[in-house]
Amino acid sequence: MRYTTAMAAVLAAFELTKRYRTRTVVDGLSLAVEPGDVYGFLGPNGAGKSTTLRMLLGLVRPTSGRVELFGRPPSDRAVLRRIGAIVESPSIYPYLSGRDNLRMLADLSGGVTAARIDEVLDRVALRDRADDPARVYSHGMKQRLAIAAALLPRPELIILDEPTNGLDPMGIRTMRELIRSLATDDGLTVVLSSHLLVEVEQVCNRAAIIARGRKRWEGEVAALLAGRHRLRLRARPTERALAIASDGASAREAEPGLIHVVGAEAAPLVARLVAAGVEVDEIAPEAPTLEEVFVELVGSAEAA
């Protein structure tokens, strides 16, 4: 059962807009993140993702609109203690060990025990390297140390800005497994921004797609693809087949000789093609990839 009101949302944004002089970076964006979600915030570089995350956390004041975190504004300090976040490059002191980086943060925030530091180091698989200086850490290890820091206060919501950016394939895999487990094993709600389609497809249950500062789509990742089934058609002559398939449906030539048809049933279409003397070589249902849907949604925004 899905929550249907902003009152139940862990995080909600209402008509968020951010302008810098004459440039609009985020334009009327609304979204809702519900308890237990792994929520992907997907868009090309420069789409306004980082600016939005900063507004959600109260780091940037919106030009208009509002944000609610657990039903409260970001200015409520008690609410911020329920959130862990990594926005853009994490701040790590290179000449301190991983453990001492966490100790320093623990001293600043107060109420964090040495046992909790060991706990989060274990959680991100850094316990055996905890006493090495952070300057010798790989990029992936630094990212995991930053997540350990975000986990110190036992947050209910964690926000990650491009968490796999710059990682090698093994680091990406490790990070994705960690993010999934934060939700499934720790019961956290996770929001992550990304420009990587496969990341959202593999990690997130819900997502929003943003382009040029505007939300293009929001919902269940599985539903984004499920609602866009089409027919794959190869028939000769192609031009005649395309004209017939376009009557009462949406059809286009995806590549030479291959027609994608949306909004038609296979059997009636085949009957019409055969009656018109068109030779049907192949017809089969298929679902578009997330990449194709993303390009369609983002492309329509770019053309606007």
**Residue 91's pLDDT is what?**
84
**Residue 51's pLDDT is what?**
95
**Residue 250's pLDDT is what?**
87
**Residue 227's pLDDT is what?**
65
Distances (CA, A) of 186 to 57, 116, 154, 178: 22, 14, 10, 10
* Distance of alpha carbon 279 from alpha carbon 107, whole angstroms: 75
The tokens for 59 are 């780091």
**Residue 116's pLDDT is what?**
96
131 band by pLDDT with thresholds 50, 70 and 90: very high
Residue whose C-alpha is closest to residue 148's, from 194, 92, 94: 92
Q: Which CATH architecture has domain 229-286?
A: 2-Layer Sandwich (3.30)
**Residue 286's pLDDT is what?**
87
**Residue 1's pLDDT is what?**
34
259 band by pLDDT with thresholds 50, 70 and 90: very high
Cβ neighbours of residue 21 closer than 8 Å, sequence gap 6 or more: none
Token look-up 């398939």 returns 245
Is a pLDDT exceeding 90 seen at residue 302?
Answer: no
CATH superfamily of 6-218: P-loop containing nucleotide triphosphate hydrolases (3.40.50.300)
pTM: 0.82
Cβ neighbours of residue 257 closer than 8 Å, sequence gap 6 or more: 234, 238
**Residue 2's pLDDT is what?**
41
Order of strands, edge to edge, in the sheet holding 23-33?
23-33, 11-20, 64-69
- pLDDT tens digits along 35-52: 999 999 999 988 999 999
Mean pLDDT for the chain overall = 91
229 band by pLDDT with thresholds 50, 70 and 90: confident
Is there a contact between 281 and 236 (Cβ–Cβ < 8 Å)?
yes
295 band by pLDDT with thresholds 50, 70 and 90: confident
Domain boundaries, the chain: 6-218, 229-286
Q: For residue 89, what is the DSSP state?
A: S
Residue whose C-alpha is closest to residue 203's, from 187, 223, 215, 221: 221
Average pLDDT of the segment spanning 232-252:
94
* Distance of alpha carbon 269 from alpha carbon 285, whole angstroms: 12
The tokens for 107 are 């001293």
